[in-house]
Every structure is written in C-alpha cells, then in structure tokens.
Structure 1
Amino acid sequence: MPVRSATAADLPAIKAIYDGQVAGGIATFDLEPPPVSYWEHRLASTDRGDHLLVADEDGVVGYAYSSAYRPRPAYRHTRETSVYVDPAAHGRGLGRALYDELLRRLRTDGMRTAVAVVALPNPGSRALHRACGFEPVGVLREVGHKFDRWIDTEWWQIALAG
C-alpha cells in the first residue's frame, strides 16, 4: 500500500474526505468544513512528531496525521493521531497501512505516547485502533453534540517507547 508524506497537491482530496465526515459522520465534531488553510497549516508544520500522510492509489483515498496533544511543553513527547479513509475505500487495509507508517515515524521521532479519540459508536475505528496496538483508556460521556444527539468519545493510547 503506497503511503507517503502529503504534498500541497493532496490537500483538496484530504479536505474532501474530511468534509464528508463533517457533513455526514461523527468522526469529527466540526460542524462546518474548515478552509484549505487549515490543511496548509498542518502540512507546513515542522514540529517534531507532526506528520500528514496519505494513502495513494491513483489518487488520495485516505490520510493520517499526528499533532500536538496539548500546547504545554511537558506534553511534547505525546502526539494525538487521526486516520480518515474515503468510505468507498473502507475494508481494504488502508487505515492499518496509514497507522503503521505514522506510528513508525513517531517512534523514529522519539515520541513516547500516541493518543486517539474515537466517537462512539464506531466499531470499525475501535477495531483498527486495537489492531494497531492502542488500548482504550476511558470514555467521556456526551461531550459532543451533532446531528441532534449527544455523542460519547473514547480515548485510546499506545506506548511508542519502552
């Protein structure tokens, strides 16, 4: 599976996948699609542990990113991760391929921990995180409100360094 660093040319496809979740899914709690500048900022980050990757099968069919978990310096060895796959490409191992490469890069960067948030219910995302070595560490009840309902989130964590 070709997974590579994203380029500026990939940003419209990344935005389209994300905007689909904004409009019809619970994988994000954004209610309005962010502008392309949001993605340009992610792409431009030079912070250690920040990555934006794409799965490319004759075009971008999924992406993953890592970014700061919290802004305070003591959290600098922890990254929050996200993976999004175009619904038409689900079930082909793209999420796993993206996560495998992202976690490899985070280990190379010397990151200690990665965390992820899964909106519930989402059995596919839970299975992906479990398969990649994440463990569930807690549920926050009714923290998001989208599509006229309250949504729980579950935090997942993986140790990247022993």
Structure 2
Amino acid sequence: MPERMDVQVTAGAEGDLGALTDIYNHYVRETAVTFDIDPITPDERRPWLLSHPEDGPHRLLVARPADGGPIMGYATSSPFRPKAAYATSVETSIYLAPGAGGRGVGTLLYAALFEALASEDVHRAYAGVTLPNEASVRIHERFGFRQVGLYQEVGRKFGEYHDVVWLEKRLD
C-alpha cells in the first residue's frame, strides 16, 4: 500500500460500486463491525451508493492511491433517522480495505468528510460503534466525538452479543 501522502480522496462514483461492496462484505463476513449477517451484491448496494450524491449532507468519499490503485477505504455521512426533524443530523462511518488500517487513510477520509459538511446545514454527527473496536472509538474521539450512550448486548453476531457505543459531534 502507498504511504498516506500518496492517497487521493474523491467522491464515490458508480464505477466504485464493486470495490465498495467488496470492502463492506469483508466486514459482514469477518467481523461484528456491521450487524449485517449476509454479504450483499453490488446491485443490492446500488441504492445506498445513489443516496450519497456529490453534494449535500449525505456524502460518500473514497480513498485510493494517487496512482489509481484499488480503493483503500470510504467514509459516509448518511441520514441519522428518516423523520424530517432529524434532517440536520447525520450518521457517519468509515470502512477501510483489509490492510489499509494504520496508514492515516481513515484520518484523511474523515478530515475531507467534515470539511465538506462544514458548508452544509448539519448540526450533529453521530456514530454507532460495535464494541470492541478500539481503532474506531479512537478516531472518532480524535475528531471531537464524545460518548452519549451505550446499548448493551444490542446485537448478536457469530453467536455472541455485542454492545454498541453511540458517539456525538457538534458540527455548527
């Protein structure tokens, strides 16, 4: 993998769908990071991609080597809840390709995401992190998130119950 300075962050596009789905499915199959149980196909993932345009509060950013290599990860800001009163809140997340962690890619993605959100009508960002996941909690805290809740044993995956910590960041 290239060093951090050789990484380019851009808006996600239709041509990224296969790689984005592969990254997500890694976490579905191998971890409790997501509570999805069954891998999804790119066609099933397409509505998610299309719900993140290049502008507005709901973004999808991808990181790839500047030389055009494979996607190293992505960050999103998505609707927090479907009701209209929640429109100024987003839920954020980061997923890195296997082997891309520890290189600053997540930091680049979140920095670009929050820079893009700075000009949007967004008041709060939330992140739900399945525990244990020290790296995810650490990056969220580095970006100013603080814990606002803990759902204990809220999900069961791979025969074990998992807690989810909820983190909040003020954006305006």
Same fold judged by TM-score > 0.5?
Answer: yes
Alignment-derived partner of residue 131 in structure 1: 142
Report the identity percentage.
Answer: 38
Which TM-score applies when normalising by structure 2?
A: 0.89
Equivalent in 17, 21, 46 of residue 27 of structure 2: 21
Equivalent in 141, 151, 154 of residue 143 of structure 1: 154
The alpha carbon displacement at 1:87 in A equals 2.4
Alignment-derived partner of residue 5 in structure 1: 11
Report the count of equivalent residues.
161
Quote the RMSD (CA, aligned, Å). Answer: 1.3
Alignment-derived partner of residue 117 in structure 2: 106
The alpha carbon displacement at 1:65 in A equals 1.0
Is 2:94 the partner of 1:83?
A: yes
CA–CA distance in structure 1, aligned partners of residues 88 and 44 of structure 2:
23
> Could you tell me whether the CA contact under 8 Å between 1:112 and 1:159 is conserved in 2?
yes
Runs of 4+ with >6 A deviation: none
Name stretches of at least 5 consecutive residues in structure 1 with no aligned partner. Answer: none
CA–CA distance in structure 1, aligned partners of residues 153 and 89 of structure 2:
25
| Aligned amino acid, residue 88 of structure 1 | G
Q: 3-state DSSP class of the match of 1:60?
A: coil
Which TM-score applies when normalising by structure 1?
A: 0.94
Q: 3-state DSSP class of the match of 1:70?
A: coil
Q: 3-state DSSP class of the match of 1:89?
A: coil
| Aligned amino acid, residue 79 of structure 1 | V
Equivalent in 48, 56, 71 of residue 42 of structure 1: 48
Equivalent in 138, 146, 169 of residue 158 of structure 1: 169
Name stretches of at least 5 consecutive residues in structure 2 with no aligned partner. Answer: 1-6
Deviations 1:133-153 (A, max 9, x none): 111111100001001000000
| Aligned amino acid, residue 10 of structure 2 | R
CA–CA distance in structure 2, aligned partners of residues 66 and 40 of structure 1:
16
The alpha carbon displacement at 1:42 in A equals 2.5
